[in-house]
Chains A and B, each alone.
Chain A
Amino acid sequence: MKKYTKTHEWVVVEDKVATVGITNHAQEQLGDVVYVDLPEVGREVKKGEVVASIESVKAAADVYAPLSGKIVEVNEKLDTEPELLNRDPEGEGWLFKMEISDESELEDLLDEQAYQEFCAQE
């Protein structure tokens, strides 16, 4: 099931591996993305830590680890096609995959409805 954070990341977990990206709402706020700085594969991260950054023509935004664990894969396509983040942020524009170390952290994340409500309030 897809989960969300208040810092506008989305997460899909399959067999203890979480795929992480930024939401369509975040992409709209950023504008045209020109560069994505991805984490190193193998890096251990803690929930809430800055793991990646995204530069658009008007801003630079940090991406936070939604869960604790180890980075196992990054979307290398983004090096040459950062625009994927605007075109398909919740599909082809995924950022990285991580092996999660504490499944209970999933409970802190928002479901789609809660995230929509959060965005509407913001």
Chain B
Amino acid sequence: MNYPYIPHTDEDIRAMLEFIGVSSIEDLFSSIPVSARSSLNIPESRDEFSVFKRLKEISEVNASLEDYAVFLGAGVYKRYVPTVVYDLAMKPDFLTAYTPYQAEVSQGTLQALFEYQTMVCELTGMEVANASMYDGATALAEAALMSFRLTGKEKVVVARSVHPEYRAVLRTYLEKRGFTVVEAGYDETGRVLLEEVDEETAAIAVQYPNFFGVIEDLDYVRSRSGNALLIVVVEPVSLALLEPPGSYGADIVVGEGQSLGLPMWFGGYSLGIFATREKYVRQMPGRLIGQTVDQAGNTAYTMILQTREQHIRRARATSNICSNHAHAALIAAVYMSVMGPDGLREVARRSYSAAHYLQERLEEMGFKLRFSGEFFNEFVFNVPEDYPERWKWMMAKKILGPLPLKGFYPELGDTALACATEVISEEDIEKLLEAMK
């Protein structure tokens, strides 16, 4: 037997063929038309060494972001994740048994999720957090639905400075169900511009820092929100430096948790952060893990308030979400524990500094900053009309450049959104500046 990865011996195969009464493998597949068979074009079998070599050649055609200077953020961020995070998170005990349906045998997973919730509360300044939603965009849509349940009203005002794709998902979730989504514009600072909200408005949703990287003035937003609830979309790492939305009276805080230790895997998996006030907990969607004591008085963890959920509440559940991204939440919990408050603050501070340095250098080259408001680690700047072509050309130079914004915000003209995180080096910046010339 030359192929250790094929479990059947020649004798096994012969015995099976004999049992079903066919003489050979070819005979077994004889009913498949010859034309269909040849279209598969499968080569003859090869030994392990040759197969490994071939697969390596194929994988080398992939672009690895490890080799790229990444100035593209817009919701997904390249960060350094210490090796120990994956050593722990990928332990089979966590990886294969990630769904804690049976609390009594899932104590490790439940404890990790409970700690995740606790850390999300600390970062956002909120009182309760769930054990995760699918991603930032759907978490925002769920927050709007929750505000409708809480207020009995059916309209949400969303800042145009909220991620364009999040707003698209929001509309998909709400409009076909008869709810109203109204957009609020922005001023020259890049911050949201709000009219006094009317009595029909259930909630106002803003992003902090917003899609342009600009830090919204949440005091101003609160002052304009009247009786409406305040929903704040966050990027969690920024909260290590910024005053948390909870301090400004936010009612629901949501966000994408990818930047807490998750790699940039295609579109996911991602991590939907969702936190709120304790008084609203019964209208909150998603899983909640609680800490309690068992019969012997030992600390124990369990899923709580499940009467809100679909498997018990059926049609009147708070949400049709019936799962979560438990393993992503677990990775985030491990990442946050490994970094600690000081480590996260360091990551945030370095990202802030790198972005501000990059902005200064671009300004020196004549690329003007588009908005005057203070930014965190992303900023919008003016670019020449042909920039989108240059953006594609830069990819060949292993630079993932600032995102052209014209498709998302035609009213801004020719601009791009630049991002820098803690992994950006002086050398990366020189490379980008050279490519921008």
Report the Cα distance A55→B307, complex, angstroms: 7
Q: Which of A1-33 contact B (CB under 8 A)?
A: none
Interface on A for B, CB 8 Å cutoff? 35, 37, 50, 53, 55, 59-60, 62
Q: Kindly list chain B residues whose C-beta atoms are within 8 Å of the C-beta of A50.
A: 316
Task: Kindly list chain A residues whose C-beta atoms are within 8 Å of the C-beta of B313.
Answer: 60
Q: Is the CB of B282 within 8 A of A35?
A: yes
6 pairs, CB–CB < 8 Å, chain A vs chain B:
A35-B282, A50-B316, A59-B307, A60-B312, A60-B313, A62-B316
Q: Closest approach, in angstroms, between the C-beta of A48 and any C-beta of chain B?
A: 15
Inter-chain pairs besides A60-B313, A60-B316, 11 sampled, C-beta below 8 Å? A35-B282, A35-B307, A37-B282, A50-B316, A53-B316, A55-B307, A59-B307, A59-B312, A60-B307, A60-B312, A62-B316
Q: In whole angstroms, how far apart are the Cα atoms of A78 and B104 in the complex?
A: 31
Within the complex, the shortest CB–CB distance from B413 to chain A, in Å, comes to 49
Chain A residue nearest to B152 (CB atoms) is: A40
Residues on B with beta carbons closer than 8 Å to the beta carbon of A55: 307
Q: How close is B295's CB to chain A, nearest CB, in angstroms?
A: 16
CB distance from B303 to the nearest CB of A (A): 13
Chain B contact patch, size range? under 10
What string of 1s and 0s marks CB contacts (under 8 Å) between B131-151 and chain A? Answer: 000000000000000000000
Docked CA distance A53–B312 (Å): 13
**Given the complex of chains A and B, what is the CA–CA distance between A37 and B316 in angstroms?**
13
Number of A-B contacts (CB under 8 A): 13
Report the separation of the CA atoms of residues A69 and B345 in the bound assembly, to the nearest whole angstrom.
57
Smallest beta-carbon distance B28→chain A, Å = 53
Q: Which B residues lie at the A interface, using CB under 8 A?
A: 282, 307, 312-313, 316
- Return A57 CB to nearest CB of chain B, in Å: 9
Across-interface contacts of A62 in B (CB, < 8 A): 316
User: Across chains A and B, which 10 residue pairs bring their CB atoms closest together, nearest first?
Assistant: A60-B307, A55-B307, A60-B313, A60-B312, A62-B316, A59-B312, A37-B282, A35-B282, A59-B307, A50-B316
Query: Which residues of B sit under 8 angstroms from A60, Cβ to Cβ?
Result: 307, 312-313, 316
CB contacts (< 8 Å) of B312 on chain A: these are 59-60
Q: Which of B282, B307, B313, B316 has the most CB of A within 10 A?
A: B307
Query: Could you tell me the distance in whole angstroms from the C-beta of B266 to the nearest C-beta in chain A?
Result: 38
Min CB distance B175 to A, Å, is 25
**Once the chains are docked, how many angstroms separate the CA of A65 from the CA of B313?**
19
The chain B residue with its CB closest to the CB of A50 is B316
Complex interface: chain A residues within 8 A of B316 (CB): 50, 53, 60, 62
- Which residue of B has the minimal Cβ distance to A57? B307
Complex CA gap A62/B317 in Å reads 12
| Smallest Cβ-Cβ distance to B309: which chain A residue | A60
B319 → chain A closest CB, angstroms = 14
Report the nearest B residue to A53, measured CB to CB: B316
* Alpha-carbon distance A53/B282, docked complex (angstroms): 11
What residues of chain A lie closer than 8 Å to B282, measured between beta carbons? Answer: 35, 37
A5 to chain B, nearest CB (A): 19
Residues of A within 8 A of B307 (CB): 35, 55, 59-60
Query: Which chain B residue lies CB-closest to A40?
Result: B152
CA distance A55 to B306 in the complex (A): 10
- In the complex, what distance in Å separates the CA atom of A50 from the CA atom of B282? 17
**Bound complex: CA A59 to CA B307 (Å):** 7
| Smallest CB gap from B316: residue in A | A62
Q: Return the chain A residue nearest B308 by Cβ.
A: A60
Closest to A43 in B: B152
> Could you tell me the distance between the alpha carbons of A60 and B282 in the complex, rounded to whole angstroms?
12
What residues of chain B lie closer than 8 Å to A37, measured between beta carbons?
282
Nearest CB in chain A: distance from B125 CB, A: 26
Nearest CB on B from A65, distance (A): 15
Chain B's nearest CB lies how many Å from the CB of A110? 25
Among A37, A55, A62, the most chain B Cβ lie within 10 Å of the Cβ of A55
